[in-house]
Amino acid sequence: MTRWDAEAAVVGLGAWGASALWKLAARGVDVLGFERFTPGHSLGSSHGGARMFRLACLEDPRLVPLAQRSRELWSELEDAAQEQLFVPTGGLLIGPENGRIAGGTLRSAREHGIDVRTFTARALRFQYPRHTAVPDHHIGVWEPTAGIVRPERAVRSAVALARQAGARVYTDTRITSIEKVPGGVLLHTAQRTVRVRQVVVTAGSWLASLEPGLPLETVRMPITWFRQLEPDDSFTLDSFPVFMRELDDVRVLRGSGTEGGHDIRIGLEDRSVSAKAIDPDDSDRSVASEDWSDLAAMLPAKIPGLEAVPARVAVCMATRTPDGQFVIGRPGGDPRVVVAGGDNAHGFQHAPGIGEALADLVQSRPTRVPLDFLSPDRFA
């Protein structure tokens, strides 16, 4: 008869895994957490100082209920951790009215009754003068409920709360493989084997190596920060709020203004030439000029007033699926395994809602919001 070390384990304590661990431990589940690095590290997908949050999910209107629930849970996590994690700034989505960014935002807002305001290109250039060269056929969509979330703080806060609730957390511990056995799984590390009845695999870019068969691709995404040429208030969050801006060549600028000592964060969306497919176990994290040169070259025309060379560049990894949506659920209906991955560069904002859903799946409860359309079996 197998002697189990715990009822459940969470493998990978980035934003999604940390949230799942927090929710499971808060419900009294005997749960272990494994992180191959340190919670809040900069070697995966849950870092960068600030991530955009928005209710009007331009990627798919079906994500809106998840975003709404996540907004409630960000407040719950803040209250429990006694730390500000969400900064309400409002958000600006710019592009063609029928395009992916502004058009997708409007579709979700209309379907779910989310309060937004639209600007003509002329009004947008007047209201937000740092956004220059916006074509006349583009619009701006302002979502007042949008803001930014602090990724590293959020991860560390969720893990700390999980520990307080009784979770046992093992950092600097890599799960090398997951072996499925009758009634549970064996989690193999270099030092020992851990036996649990269920495992939640939220290993980000390493998910496919632990649960083969998922159609996941990992890409290298530079994160870039710039400083102003001349100090003024035109790049504060009030004047230069968090934004996504679709260009006519379908590339997307994204970023947010300066506050609290943070530089101006501006980057190119992951469809740019700088997003390269990589092996997460064999990736070069050094920074070269090609990581930021295309972006820097366009900024004088699109967002003038910034230094020509970034003040700082970091490397983030994003995991993509063929349809741009997450994979959340039990592959093949296996009662021993729950997976969550494929952040597609828009998954961080949903972290607490996804964490709650993963806890629901472990406990065989209906998820708070419908997530069947994210099933990992949809690709089969």
Q: Token pair 């589940």 is at which residue?
A: 29
CATH 3.50.50.60 fits 6-48+151-215+323-379, yes or no: yes
Residues 6 or more apart from 90 whose CB is under 8 A from it? 142, 143, 144, 145, 146, 147, 241, 242
Q: Token pair 């560069």 is at which residue?
A: 345
Ranges of each domain in the chain: 6-48+151-215+323-379, 92-144+217-320
pLDDT for the residue 315? 86
d(CA 162, CA 258): 32
pLDDT in tens, the chain (380 residues): 569 999 999 999 999 999 999 999 999 999 999 999 999 988 888 888 899 999 999 999 999 999 999 999 999 999 999 999 999 999 999 999 999 999 999 999 999 999 999 999 999 999 999 999 999 999 999 999 999 999 999 999 999 999 999 999 999 999 999 999 999 999 999 999 999 999 999 999 999 999 999 999 998 888 899 999 998 899 999 999 999 999 999 899 999 999 877 899 999 885 545 467 888 887 667 888 888 999 999 999 999 999 999 999 998 888 999 999 999 999 999 999 999 999 998 999 999 999 999 999 999 999 999 999 999 999 98
* Structure token digits, residue 303: 């967002």
The torsion angles phi and psi of 291, rounded to 5 degrees, stand at -70, -20
Give the chain's count of helices (H) and strands (E).
8, 20
d(CA 91, CA 333): 38
* Structure token digits, residue 282: 């064999």
| End-to-end Cα distance, the chain | 34
pLDDT for the residue 291? 87
pLDDT for the residue 272? 46
Same CATH topology for 6-48+151-215+323-379 and 92-144+217-320: the answer is no
d(CA 306, CA 162): 41
Q: DSSP letters of 269-315?
A: -TTSTT-EE--TTS------GGGTHHHHHHHHHHS-SB-SS-SEEEE
From residue 227, alpha-carbon distances to 11, 131, 238, 291, 297 in Å are 38, 16, 17, 17, 15
Q: Token pair 């007033």 is at which residue?
A: 305
Q: Which CATH architecture has domain 92-144+217-320?
A: 2-Layer Sandwich (3.30)
From residue 357, alpha-carbon distances to 59, 94, 200, 341 in Å are 19, 31, 11, 13
